[in-house]
Structure 1
Amino acid sequence: MKLLKQTAVAAFAASLLLQAPAWAAEDYAPLRESLQKAGASVVWDASTKTAAFKLLNGTTGSVTLDKDEYKLGSKTGKLRAKAKLVDGVTQVPSDFIEQLISDQTGSNVLDAAKQKDEKLVSVTADVETAAVESGSDAADDPAIWVNPKDPSKSTLLATNKGGGILVYDLAGQELYSYKVGKVNNIDVRYDFPLGGKKVDIAAATNRSSNSVEFFAINQETGELTNINGDKIKSKMHEVYGFSLYHSLKTGKFYALILGKEGEFEQYEILDNGSGKVNGKLVREFQLGTIAEGLVADDEYGYMYLAEENVAIWKYDAEPDNGILPIARVDSADGTRLTPDIEGLTLYYGKDGTGYLIASNQGESRYAIYKREGSNDYISSFVIADGSQTDGTSVTDGIDVLSFGLGDKFPNGLFVAQDDENITDGKTMNQNFKLLGWDKIAEAVDPKLTQVTNIDPRKLIKRNR
């Protein structure tokens, strides 16, 4: 996967909205590259051929291809010449770029917080799953499912890009395998209305068909049953990152997809009347570069997107609330995060507190931020070699749960994909490492919150 990512980034560097070709006219400048260097956010709306931007001071604006008008805050103005597309890159008159950069005065409201320097601690895993059957870069993303009758019988759903979805018990033993294609990222939600009752569902991006797969989860056994209706076929080049979102504001459920070229699509998902799941596209936009990590906060109505080589972005998860980010949580500048930023997950704490956790793949470690407020950085940790398992490296997907899962994980669970699975000195196929949340919480100084009763079926709408 790492080689593929590097290739995708290199190929995309000369494409949509990223950098200027060497022969561009001197009086034009690349909009995205110029503004990103100045700390702004730039997003592409393909439906209107518009580049929208948000400056450091919070001012928003936009330009549209083949038009000489621009919007900046509540005002409109005239460009010296029309915005144009050259080799897939949006170019605008250079004096407009100079104006925007000079206008970036006042407080920096785009960055969520002035983040601290990295603090690092070390923990070890308790359990590892059986290795996936495919070699090389195959294991990718985990999702924890809570058994409603017996939490100790909860399962771990995981993707195998070599050919499907795997289901493990909490001892790491494989229970089921589903050969549905090159599945990349997976997520779970509870009490989805289907066929006149509420069911737990899992969904995942499938790179074999550039689509989303939906499954009902058997509440007794954890087995999966395909519930695809008219399958969601993405318009993006290749589906990649994924999250489900249950809006506690409206009650609606959504599938969120990120693409390998930074595309984002949001689909409302619903019962098609025959006990199957259909999807309706309700929002789309495009980041500048490759993006995969994606997680939604159902209680606050936010979503976090990891643009791998750039930043973690915080967005409103409601589809009618625009295409520009609310804030930048942190940047891949080598201080706390190093490219690639990969998996994202949320630890739901008491009274709306908790943690946002990111897989810092470039440094084989994990960064922890506050879930509430401005997402202040707290600490980072590595999963080192221990007496039970080896450590993790170059992690893709992660998941966390603030709910007790019986005697094995009474204080909650953290799961991470391991790129290089070592057993008795031999490199095996990739797998997933499991460790109790208490290990992480007690290693960090000051200690993190530990809660064991945040039932994912009983989340509460929070005021921002």
Structure 2
Amino acid sequence: MAGNAPPNSRIDPLTRLLIAAALLPLAACAAGKRDIPVVPTTPAASVQARGQTDAVGTANADAADDPAIWRNPANPAASLIVGTDKKAGLHVYDLTGKDRFFIDAGQVNNVDLKDMGPLGIIVAASDRNDRKNAKLALFRLDTAAVKLIPLGTIPVGAGEAYGLCLMAVGNTLHAFNVIKDGTIRQVALDLSGAAPTGTIVRTMKLATQSEGCAADDRTQRLYVGEENVGLWRFDARADGPVAGTLIAPADGQKLVVDVEGVTLAPEGTGNGGYVIVSSQGDHAYTVYRLSDDSYVGRFRIAAGSTIGATEETDGIDFAPGDFGLTYPGGLFVAQDGYNPPYAQNFKYVAWADIKAALGIE
């Protein structure tokens, strides 16, 4: 697999958690993190990554942030992962973790993608190059050449662009732009012209800093993480109510601040499956059922023999389906905020391993 194991890759994950707390000042200098890890009493199962990406290009900084997975239905082993270096641009990795392409897009924070049929694989990133005026940067993923083709940027209102997720409504693509202050703008995109355009169809609001989000095409529901509060669910229909429901508070036990990345693991055509949230404060991931918002369990990505653990995860993504022999039942990708002696990267975990660890079918 691409990348090398850090020197402490064989240390027990709980011990690593305690060491991380003791070494926090050093880690903060290296990666810009300020969160103090905690050890909740709620247990977390352990899984190990089966792969990892090359490190992002920006070293000694909090740089890697969010991944987005494209599954190649014709050749799952040729699937690709787009990842942000929020100091520099976008990387495209293959399933071995090799960095196949990089585009200088500046300070892009979150990323998502959708297969829009004849329009191609559309990649969207939250563009925070101007911290006072948020933008949405759009690309087309050329899967044959393994490169991103810029389509243009769309202004999405005042504020610092932070979180970003996409939802397909028929042939129309909607982007949810989460502004750092908790404002959420739903933008209907028009990709039919020479340059993309967007219309803000409604605005929602959380009280404090928010980032990670994921939208369910099947149910038209939106899930957003308010970092110091918890996980919210919204109606994602353009004409739906704008008030959200707090479905998972950051209680310090099941879910620990900061509440960061959010992704969905859908099952079936209804509302089956799971929502997964990065419980950044204790280097874990919390899982809830989509059908009734009930708590399922928690897991950590622990160190293996050649690939290290993950800590302080920002962005996460999941894609169902066959990804070849290594990931036959789906792929989960998590940003690793502490990857010494290398820069930050992304870890690959088999969904089958997570389900087995949590005891879910």
TM > 0.5 between the two?
yes
Does the C-alpha gap of structure 1 residues 238 and 256 become closer, same or farther in structure 2, counting only changes over 3 Å?
Answer: same
Aligned partner (choices 245, 267, 271) of residue 349 of structure 1: 267
Aligned partner (choices 282, 285, 288) of residue 207 of structure 2: 288
Residue matched to 1:124:
48
Aligned partner (choices 147, 150, 154) of residue 232 of structure 1: 154
Residue matched to 2:299:
381
Secondary structure of 1:439's aligned partner: helix
Structure 2 gap ranges (5+): 1-26, 36-40
After superposition, what is the alpha-carbon deviation per residue over 1:214-238, rounded to whole angstroms, capped at 9, x for unaligned? 111123233211112xx31132320
CA–CA separation in structure 1 for the residues paired with 2:76 and 2:205: 39
CA–CA separation in structure 1 for the residues paired with 2:228 and 2:267: 29
- Shift of residue 5, structure 1, vs aligned partner: 8.6
After superposition, what is the alpha-carbon deviation per residue over 1:226-264, rounded to whole angstroms, capped at 9, x for unaligned? 112xx311323200000011125xx42111111111111
- Shift of residue 380, structure 1, vs aligned partner: 0.1
Whether contact under 8 Å (2:313, 2:337) holds in the other structure is yes
Secondary structure of 2:356's aligned partner: helix
In the alignment, does 2:353 pair up with 1:429?
no
After superposition, what is the alpha-carbon deviation per residue over 1:389-410, rounded to whole angstroms, capped at 9, x for unaligned? 0000010000111111122321
Residue matched to 2:83:
158
Structure 1 gap ranges (5+): 8-116, 450-464
Aligned partner (choices 174, 179, 196) of residue 254 of structure 1: 174
Whether contact under 8 Å (2:135, 2:157) holds in the other structure is no
CA–CA separation in structure 2 for the residues paired with 1:215 and 1:125: 29
Residue matched to 1:419:
337
- Shift of residue 351, structure 1, vs aligned partner: 4.5
In the alignment, does 2:92 pair up with 1:173?
no
Aligned identity (percent) is 36
- Shift of residue 148, structure 1, vs aligned partner: 3.6
Residue matched to 1:264:
184
Residue matched to 2:109:
184
Q: Give structure 1 regions of 4+ aligned residues with deviation exceeding 4 angstroms.
A: 1-7
Normalised by the length of structure 2, the TM-score is 0.85
Secondary structure of 1:324's aligned partner: coil
CA–CA separation in structure 2 for the residues paired with 1:390 and 1:4: 20
Whether contact under 8 Å (1:147, 1:220) holds in the other structure is no
Whether contact under 8 Å (2:48, 2:304) holds in the other structure is yes
Measured on the aligned residues, the alpha-carbon RMSD in Å equals 2.0
Indicate the larger mover: 203-212 or 385-394: 203-212
Q: Which has the larger radius of gyration?
A: 1
Secondary structure of 1:315's aligned partner: strand
Q: Which residue type is aligned with residue 302 of structure 2?
A: A
Counterpart mapping for 1:303-322 below 5 A = 303-322=222-241
Secondary structure of 1:428's aligned partner: coil
After superposition, what is the alpha-carbon deviation per residue over 1:72-115, rounded to whole angstroms, capped at 9, x for unaligned? xxxxxxxxxxxxxxxxxxxxxxxxxxxxxxxxxxxxxxxxxxxx
Q: Which residue type is aligned with residue 358 of structure 1?
A: V
Whether contact under 8 Å (1:207, 1:239) holds in the other structure is yes
Aligned partner (choices 353, 357, 360) of residue 443 of structure 1: 357
CA–CA separation in structure 1 for the residues paired with 2:237 and 2:76: 31
Q: Which has the higher contact order (CA 8 A, sep 6+)?
A: 2
